[in-house]
Homo-oligomer: A and B are copies of this chain.
């Protein structure tokens, strides 16, 4: 089973909660917020477990975080190529202002920028807001 393989590969115990949450990510088109998961009708997992599962998944490189300006963090599945721990979000994230879904544009890499003297970059994030392909009428 796909989910179990992902968990095992990450060195995590295979539990019901983790399989359920991972399933949600597989089934979801865009990124998910903590609230999306917690409020999802089909699951009945304690809030605390959701917090801890998301944190574990981030640390294991299964999902990554996407910063937003509305006091929530979004989470999305990582590509296989992602390495746990020292993870770099090198692809662009697109948030649709119409349907509100967040897409990982896996094929669009974050471009390098030339920083002023003395600034050393470690990680770069790029978030584009606009209208996604499904919402262009």
Copies of this chain present in the complex amount to 2
Q: B133 and A128: CB pair below 8 A?
A: no
User: Given A69-B67, A94-B119, A119-B133, are A126 and B113 neighbors across the interface (CB < 8 Å)?
Assistant: yes
Q: How far is the CA of A55 from the CA of B129 in the complex (A)?
A: 20
8 Å CB contact of A71 from B66, B71, B125, B128? B71
A-B contact pairs, 11 of them (CB 8 A): A67-B127, A69-B73, A94-B115, A94-B119, A105-B115, A108-B116, A119-B131, A120-B131, A121-B129, A124-B126, A124-B128
A112 shortest CB reach to chain B, Å: 8
| Chain B residues positioned under 8 Å from A69 (CB to CB) | 65-67, 73, 125
